[in-house]
Amino acid sequence: MSELTTVARPYAKAAFDFALQQGALDKWAEMLSFAASVAKDDRMASFLSSSATVGRTSEVFIGVCGDALTEQAQNLIKVMAENERLTALPAVLEQFNVLRADYEKEIVVDVTGAVEMSDAQKTELSKALEARLQRKIKLNCSVDASMIGGLTIQAGDTVIDGSLRGKLERLAYALQS
């Protein structure tokens, strides 16, 4: 997967820079999402891995996408087809979304708790995390009853384990040392 990320990064950066310059981040995210879903389709993936010519590959791909792509997005598809990189479109979308979130100072935070959080608790947690991380927060909340109590919070590479299970594991480790 890291190879696809490396391949996708320059295409995503070019698309992001162009979209930012045109003030069309939402439109480009939508187009890339659609193109990535087309590239993921089993029949299209099979076609992309066949020995079709570059011109034919881009022609078919753009034909399938129809009016969902602007002329500039079609040009991106053509360039990616010339370099035999259309299978990397899902990774391009992922990298585009990373660049967009960084630009918009947003971060998705995964919160796992032993019980469902109330709306008031979610709001309070969001405010605290916004202050700590200096970003807009989008919470993904889930429940894991095996945690016994508390929360684990993961925001990018940052992990905060405030669960009772985590505290017991750290205590057990300290006692064994």
Residue 80's CATH number: 1.10.520.20
7 and 75 share one domain: yes
Q: Are residues 87 and 167 in the same domain?
A: no
- Counting the structural domains of the chain, the total is 2
Q: Are residues 91 and 151 in the same domain?
A: no
**Are 98 and 111 in the same domain?**
no
Whole-structure pTM value: 0.70
The reported pLDDT for the residue numbered 99 is 92
Judgement on whether residues 94 and 36 belong to the same structural domain of the protein: yes
CB atoms within 10 A of CB 53: 9
Among 80, 102, 124, give the residue marking a domain's end.
Answer: 102
Mean local confidence (pLDDT), 147-175: 88
Residues 114 and 66 in one domain: no
> What is the DSSP code (8-state) at residue 117?
P
Mean pLDDT within 28-37: 93
Distance CA 9, CA 91 (A): 8
Tell how strand 136-143 and strand 106-113 pair up.
parallel
In a shared domain, residues 68 and 127: no
Residues 144 and 57 placed together within one structural domain of the fold: no
139 pLDDT tier (thresholds 50, 70, 90): very high
Domain of residue 167 covers 106-176
Among 102, 122, 146, the domain boundary falls at: 102
163 and 130 co-located in one domain: yes
**Mean pLDDT rounded to a whole number for the chain:** 89
Element (H, E) at 150: none
If asked whether residues 85 and 6 sit together in one domain, one would say yes
Of 102, 130, 161, which one is at a domain's C-terminal end? Answer: 102
Q: Given pLDDT bands bounded at 50, 70 and 90, which one contains residue 52?
A: low
Exposure string of 97-123, with b = 16+ CB inside 10 Å and e = fewer, is bebbbeeeeebebebbbbeebeeeeee
